[in-house]
Amino acid sequence: GGLFILKDPNYDNTPPTVVCQPVTATLDRTTGSVTVTADDVDNGSTDDFGITKKSIEASQTTFTCADVGRSIPVTLTVEDDYGNKSSCTTNITVEAETTSFNGATWSNGVPSVGSNAKISADYSTAINTSFQACSCEVDTDRTLTVNSGDYIDIQKDMTNLDESLKP
C-alpha cells in the first residue's frame, strides 16, 4: 500500500484563446430590430479540448432604430470543459439600410421601420405612398409633400439638407 497519484493525461488548465471581432448590426427592414449573439462577436476562439460555452455581456443585445449610430461595448466570454474562461471586449455598431427615392422608384424597396429613407427627388404621398422609416433625409432643393390622410412615420430623425423645412 501507499499513496498513488495519477494525473489525467487530458487534464486542461490552459484557458481558451478568445478572439473578438467588432460587429455591425443591421436592423431587419420589416421588424426594425436586430439581436446580436455570442457567435456574432466570436471570431474563431479556440481551446485545446474544445469550447463548451460562449456568452456575451452588454447593456443590451437587441437593438432598434433608437440605437442606430451608437457603438455599444460588449464582452465575449468563452469557457472550456474544465471551467477555464477567457474574455475579450469589442463594440457593436448599429445601422439601418438606406433606400433612396430617385423620382420613379426606391433603390432598395419602399422604406419600412428598419430602414432609412433618402428623398433624392420630389416626393408626394398622393402619387407614391405613405411610408415608415427609421430616419428620413430630404436632399437640397427637393420637396416632400404629405397629403391629407397620408403619412410618413419617422422613428428617429428627419433631416432637410437645405433647411427649408420649418416646424
| pLDDT digit string (tens) for the chain, length 167 residues | 677 666 566 778 899 999 999 999 999 999 999 999 999 999 999 999 899 999 999 999 999 999 999 999 999 999 998 999 999 999 999 999 999 999 999 999 999 999 999 999 999 999 999 999 999 999 999 999 999 999 999 999 888 866 555 44
**pLDDT value for 2:** 73
Q: Of the candidates 56, 85, 86, which has an alpha carbon nearest to the alpha carbon of residue 73?
A: 56
| Cell numbers placing 31 | 421588424
Using left for φ > 0, alpha for ψ between -120 and 50, and beta otherwise, residue 21 falls in beta
Interatomic CA distance for residues 159 and 137, integer angstroms:
5
Q: Burial, 67: exposed, middle or buried (Cβ in 10 Å; 0-12, 13-18, 19+)?
A: buried
Dist. CA 94–CA 29, nearest whole Å: 13
Among 132, 158, 127, 161, which Cα is nearest to 145's? Answer: 127
Model pLDDT, residue 99: 97
